[in-house]
Amino acid sequence: MTSPTWPTSRRSRAARDELLRLVSPSRKEEGCLRYETHQSNDVPDAWMMLEDWRHASDFKLNKSATRKGLVGGTQFPT
């Protein structure tokens, strides 16, 4: 078992927080089979979202809600 190493820059922390904030509401959406956030072990600022959806329409609805700010919507600091 390993402990996560969280990013230290303000922008990286904001990205991490926003991505993790998407997990719970996305998992509750109809058609969500899997929604995971992964951080690179080699590049702390590299993230991957692993998603499985029952239908393409469920995936599109999730992306639409995310882009409209219904899920997440944080502006990352520069």
* CB-CB neighbours of 53 under 10 Å: 20
Task: Give the pLDDT of residue 68.
Answer: 57
CB contact at 8 A, 13 and 6: yes
Q: Is 1 a residue whose pLDDT tops 60?
A: no
Class in CATH terms, 10-57: alpha beta
Mean pLDDT taken over the chain: 77
Maximal CA-CA distance, the chain: 37
Instruction: Compute the distance between CA of residue 21 and CA of residue 2 in angstroms, rounded to an integer.
Output: 22
